[in-house]
Amino acid sequence: MWPRVKVELHGIVADCPSCHGTDFEPQGAAADSIASQTPMICTACGARAPYIQLLIQIGDKAITRSLETLERIRAQRAKVKPPPRE
């Protein structure tokens, strides 16, 4: 029985591309010896994705998140700015 692991970086959790589950079983690797090409099997639906693909997904989410943060900061700045006099 392989351990169930979550693929998480910087508080962002990768999810299964088919069912959005977040628990994976690394195939043929212990939790501490997962390599980029280790197939990660979703414990909910059995879909398989290489570990690297899950890391890339986290990277994409991190980019989306930082863009959203940037938008929020911009929106807040726009609010505190005095209205333009024209």
| Euclidean distance between CA atoms 21 and 84, whole angstroms | 48
CB of 31 to Zn ion, least distance (A): 18
Q: Report helix, strand and coil shares of the chain as percent, to nearest 5.
A: 40, 15, 45
67 binds Zn ion (CB under 5 A): no
Indicate the residue among 3 and 71 with the shorter CB distance to Zn ion.
3
Say whether residue 4 binds Zn ion (CB under 5 A): no
16 binds Zn ion, rule: CB under 5 A: yes
Of 3, 52, 55, nearest to 24 by C-alpha is 3
**34 touching Zn ion, by CB under 5 A:** no
